[in-house]
A and B are shown apart, each in its own frame.
Chain A
Amino acid sequence: MIRILVRYSVLFVLTLLVLTALSFVLAYLFPGDVLVNLSGITPENEVQRDALVRQYRLDQSYLIQFWHYLQQLMNGNWGYSFTSGLPLREEVGLALPATIEISTYAMLMALFIGLPVGYYAGIRSYSLSDRTINSVSLISYSVPVFWLALVLILFFSLELGVAPLSGRISLMFDIPSVTGFILIDILLSEHIDHGLALRDALHHLLLPTLAIGTITTAAMIRITRRSVIDVLQKPYIAAARARGLSRPQIFVRHVMRNASLPILPLMAIQITTLITNAMIVETLFSWPGIGNWLIQAIYQRDYPALRIGMLAVSTLVISLTILVDMFNRMLDPGRERFERGAI
């Protein structure tokens, strides 16, 4: 157990180090002044410039610069955004939770819809209902998320007018950002009608969640179904049947648990896709998340923001992947590595 922890920690630290190095190199690769790309501050005179050069150790060797860059990152000094002039840490702190939030809801949707439907399809395998579920999920899985989001907007927002198409909540509500998660922030804020605000926020969540969640749900259905079919073919199911257990008994005692184990690692792989999808969909729904923020940064050639944004997103994805992988490993140490990795 400790060995696994150590191994994953080393892996985690090393990967982060490589990423940080990459983001540091970006400051040199982006057009413009390295100093400005690193700090986000355009020095107004030579004195200020010298002070910044000293602060970022730009007069010393690359290694020392990098070491210092690491220290600055650790201390929370991530530089400033060109366009807003705000500390990048603050900006990422506002944007990243919004992305995590919407991804979480999409994942919940996948769990609450994907799992039961997947079980159902697995048990009824190769029946008409299974084939229907199978083909619907295959279609949903293949639909480009960008297009799906547009279709949802066109249909639900513009034609039917049942769902708003942009933002997290009506701007009529003034919700101060505390955690960055809108539903929690609503509960924390004062002087507002909490019920109304929550309803408004859920209303806004509807379409983006649906757009991202559909694809993850389809993946979930397919993974669960496959897993259930595999388990059903195992000899112990035949044995249980021979012992005279009823179908619900077999399902609850043998199928559910055994089929669930392989689902987790496979879903972990979906997390990356999920976050990528979320970032794409954000721009369509004007969701104030990290994807939208990065796109703005690209439009406005905000190099410090791009550098930190890349670091923040990749750190998030890698932490999640490594965490889930480690979790699997600890839950199910018996399996061999290649089995866990298979899709």
Chain B
Amino acid sequence: MIPRSQLTFPLFFITALCLLSGCTQSADDAFYQSGVIYCSESNPVYFNPQLDTSSTTTDATSHQLYDRLLDFEPDSGRIVPSLASSWMISDDGLTYTFQLRKDVSFHSTSYFTPTRNFNADDIIFSINRWRLPSHPYHPVSGGRYPYFESLGLADNIASVERINGYRVEITLRQRDSSFLANLATDFSVILSKEYADQLLKQGIPARLDQFPIGTGPFRFVGHRKDHYIRYHRHPDYWQNKHSAEQLIFDITPRSSLRLAKLITGECDATAFPAQTELNVIRNRENLMLAEKPGLNIGFWAFNTQRPPFDNPDVRRALAFAIDKNTLLEAVYFGSATRAKTLLPAASWAYQDDADDTAYNPVLARKLLDDAGIEPGFSMTIWAMPVERAYNPNATKMAELIQRYLADVGIRATIVSYDWSTFRRHLRDGLHDSVLIGWSADNGDPDNFYRPLLSCSAIPSGTNRAMWCNEDYEQLINQALQTDEIEKRRAIYRQANRLLYEKLPLVPIAHAYRYQAYREVLSGMAINPYGGVRFSGVKKAQ
């Protein structure tokens, strides 16, 4: 009684849908293989890593869009030539002369077409931008250069001179054995002076940091906030010409969703796989998990400018109140090692026999009593809202610490904001204590000691303990005066001792670094010295 057509229609519809879904995979594989999709965790603040130390920013920019004068070799950590083909250091260790590479071209995009190749002017512009407060570009985009400020690098550079078009001379005021390493970090990128001049003339200098031009393997195409960043291959890249044609950052804040996309193949690689997901990745045949001990540290810092945390005994008491091993197991699931000092074991200055605090709530209570902290005292623990290798779940860790503190009669409340607000408030020093960490940008120990606890790192917002100690300053400055490893190591031992006595922060863990990607991706490796690199990465045919 029903006309046949009535029945065939839905059937047809369903078949059509199935056909559509079934046949996409096989055809036109070449198109899908031409690009690499990386699921990243958040939006970069700027497309210029000079302005931000967040790894989200460096991941999206440093090794994709830009080059540096020097680079780290990923395996050995040796400093190797990049835009500088060679360099010389004067005998007094104060003058560095760099010979620059020729025939390096800047990106040509819809918003800028370069008329000349890279030369010494670009180096001078890029360094002077963060070095000289009088530079026209210095105040652009906020005018903060946290990495360089935290190291006090600008004050130590006396001059940056152009010898000729391809030779630059940098003179320091004091010896700095970590200077070359600093030039090789993710933050010391080289920008285009020609582009900057053009923007300045047009009156829109801030575009320099939002519509980037560099010499790197990929050029910027577009960014839609919370959705994607799109890059195309730089066709005239001076170094490796075998990168994928397209590189796309698919911005996916949820870690579980990133894993799901990796499984379905919507991502080829993901940022920060959660510790709980590692086994899922290991058990899948078509997924790869690279792991390396990371150059990082997760810690619990006290705001040493706020009473009662300005009292080292109070800080020590709190350190004794927590059980680090439990934190390691519960938060890192065995993917981290216990931290005694700031330095991880991968660093050459690591001190194996350094002092460490042990779990002792009775002693903690006693110290608190001695310091006049009554039971019922309340404080805040700020837990960072994002996952990082050095602390994959700060909220969980904060909850555990909250319970430990309750045992010694301290009421702790957990505070969190979105990431940018969080860091702004931290810089203003609104916290009592904070769970956060640091990933090193180069292999030099100075990269831990200085940004984390030096006086100049307070305004730049990397010294979360707001701690400023003269003896400590002297020690870490002294360590840079010599190139002899043994001497430097001895100085850092003294610094460790001092830190153990003063305890501005409690070192908690050094985490492994993981990089999850699909088997089809070739050329993917962990970069222990900072951000992810996609140069030379492509999908296998």
* A residues adjacent to B (C-beta < 8 A): 83-84, 86, 112-113, 116-117, 119-120, 123, 153, 157-158, 161-167, 170-172, 174, 193, 196, 199-200, 202-203, 206, 247-248, 251-252, 286, 288, 296, 299-301
Which residues of chain A come closer than 8 Å to B24, judged between CB atoms? 199-200, 203
Q: List 18 A-B contacts (CB under 8 A).
A: A84-B226, A112-B9, A112-B13, A113-B10, A120-B2, A120-B6, A158-B263, A158-B264, A165-B261, A165-B264, A166-B257, A167-B250, A171-B230, A171-B248, A172-B31, A172-B246, A203-B24, A248-B1
The reply to whether A206 and B21 form a contact with Cβ atoms under 8 Å apart is: yes
Give the shortest distance, in Å, between A54 (CB) and chain B (any CB): 25
Cross-interface CB contact of A286 among B2, B9, B257, cutoff 8 Å: B257
- What 7 A-B pairs are tightest by C-beta distance, nearest first? A247-B1, A84-B225, A171-B248, A172-B35, A202-B20, A116-B6, A203-B24
Give the shortest distance, in Å, between B207 (CB) and chain A (any CB): 13
The answer to whether B27 has its CB under 8 Å from any CB of chain A is yes
CA A164 – CA B21 in complex, angstroms?
10
Number of interface residues of B (CB under 8 A): 40
CA A134 – CA B7 in complex, angstroms?
17
The reply to whether B230 and A117 form a contact with Cβ atoms under 8 Å apart is: no
Which residues of chain A come closer than 8 Å to B250, judged between CB atoms? 167, 171
Give the shortest distance, in Å, between A227 (CB) and chain B (any CB): 16
* B residues adjacent to A (C-beta < 8 A): 1-3, 6-7, 9-10, 13, 17, 20-24, 27-28, 31-32, 34-35, 37, 221-222, 225-228, 230, 246, 248, 250, 252, 257, 260-261, 263-266, 418
CA A250 – CA B23 in complex, angstroms?
42
Which residues of chain B come closer than 8 Å to A199, judged between CB atoms? 20, 23-24
Give the shortest distance, in Å, between A249 (CB) and chain B (any CB): 10
Cross-interface CB contact of A301 among B27, B32, B418, cutoff 8 Å: B418
The reply to whether B21 and A162 form a contact with Cβ atoms under 8 Å apart is: yes
The reply to whether A286 and B20 form a contact with Cβ atoms under 8 Å apart is: no
Give the shortest distance, in Å, between A85 (CB) and chain B (any CB): 9
Contacts A83-B225, A116-B9; is A193 near B17 (CB within 8 Å)?
no
CA A267 – CA B181 in complex, angstroms?
68
Which residues of chain B come closer than 8 Å to A301, judged between CB atoms? 418
7 further A-B pairs in the complex, CB-CB below 8 A; given A166-B266, A196-B28: A123-B2, A158-B264, A174-B230, A200-B24, A202-B21, A206-B17, A248-B3
Give the shortest distance, in Å, between A192 (CB) and chain B (any CB): 9
Which residues of chain A come closer than 8 Å to B31, judged between CB atoms? 172, 193, 196
CA A126 – CA B336 in complex, angstroms?
65
CA A172 – CA B38 in complex, angstroms?
11
Give the shortest distance, in Å, between A281 (CB) and chain B (any CB): 14
Which residues of chain A come closer than 8 Å to B265, judged between CB atoms? 161
CA A248 – CA B6 in complex, angstroms?
11
The reply to whether B7 and A116 form a contact with Cβ atoms under 8 Å apart is: yes
CA A206 – CA B21 in complex, angstroms?
8
Contacts A171-B37, A172-B248, A174-B221; is A157 near B28 (CB within 8 Å)?
no
Cross-interface CB contact of A251 among B1, B221, B246, cutoff 8 Å: B1
Give the shortest distance, in Å, between B384 (CB) and chain A (any CB): 16
Contacts A172-B37, A172-B248; is A206 near B264 (CB within 8 Å)?
no
CA A112 – CA B24 in complex, angstroms?
24
Which residues of chain B come closer than 8 Å to A296, judged between CB atoms? 226
Which residues of chain A come closer than 8 Å to B226, judged between CB atoms? 84, 296
CA A280 – CA B250 in complex, angstroms?
21
The reply to whether A116 and B230 form a contact with Cβ atoms under 8 Å apart is: no
CA A200 – CA B227 in complex, angstroms?
18
Contacts A202-B20, A247-B1; is A158 near B230 (CB within 8 Å)?
no
CA A113 – CA B10 in complex, angstroms?
6
Which residues of chain A come closer than 8 Å to B263, judged between CB atoms? 158, 161
The reply to whether A170 and B32 form a contact with Cβ atoms under 8 Å apart is: yes
Cross-interface CB contact of A193 among B3, B28, B228, B230, cutoff 8 Å: B28
Give the shortest distance, in Å, between B271 (CB) and chain A (any CB): 15
CA A193 – CA B27 in complex, angstroms?
12
The reply to whether B10 and A112 form a contact with Cβ atoms under 8 Å apart is: yes
Give the shortest distance, in Å, between B140 (CB) and chain A (any CB): 15
Give the shortest distance, in Å, between B439 (CB) and chain A (any CB): 25
The reply to whether A116 and B10 form a contact with Cβ atoms under 8 Å apart is: yes
Which residues of chain A come closer than 8 Å to B257, judged between CB atoms? 166, 286
> Which of A202, A251, A286 neighbours the largest number of chain B CB atoms within 10 Å of its CB?
A286
Cross-interface CB contact of A299 among B9, B22, B260, B418, cutoff 8 Å: B418
Give the shortest distance, in Å, between A221 (CB) and chain B (any CB): 11
CA A299 – CA B418 in complex, angstroms?
8
Residue of A nearest to B5 (CB): A116
CA A49 – CA B226 in complex, angstroms?
29
CA A202 – CA B34 in complex, angstroms?
21
Which residues of chain B come closer than 8 Å to A288, judged between CB atoms? 227
Which residues of chain B come closer than 8 Å to A172, judged between CB atoms? 31-32, 34-35, 37, 246, 248
Residue of A nearest to B421 (CB): A301
Residue of B nearest to A94 (CB): B224
The reply to whether B3 and A158 form a contact with Cβ atoms under 8 Å apart is: no
Contacts A174-B221, A196-B31, A248-B1; is A300 near B418 (CB within 8 Å)?
yes
Give the shortest distance, in Å, between A283 (CB) and chain B (any CB): 10
Which residues of chain B come closer than 8 Å to A164, judged between CB atoms? 264, 266
The reply to whether B266 and A165 form a contact with Cβ atoms under 8 Å apart is: yes
Cross-interface CB contact of B6 among A119, A174, A247, cutoff 8 Å: A119
Give the shortest distance, in Å, between B225 (CB) and chain A (any CB): 4
Which residues of chain B come closer than 8 Å to A167, judged between CB atoms? 250, 266
Give the shortest distance, in Å, between B336 (CB) and chain A (any CB): 28
Give the shortest distance, in Å, between A16 (CB) and chain B (any CB): 29
Which residues of chain A come closer than 8 Å to B260, judged between CB atoms? 153, 157-158, 165-166
CA A196 – CA B226 in complex, angstroms?
25
CA A162 – CA B257 in complex, angstroms?
17
Which residues of chain B come closer than 8 Å to A202, judged between CB atoms? 20-21
CA A164 – CA B264 in complex, angstroms?
6
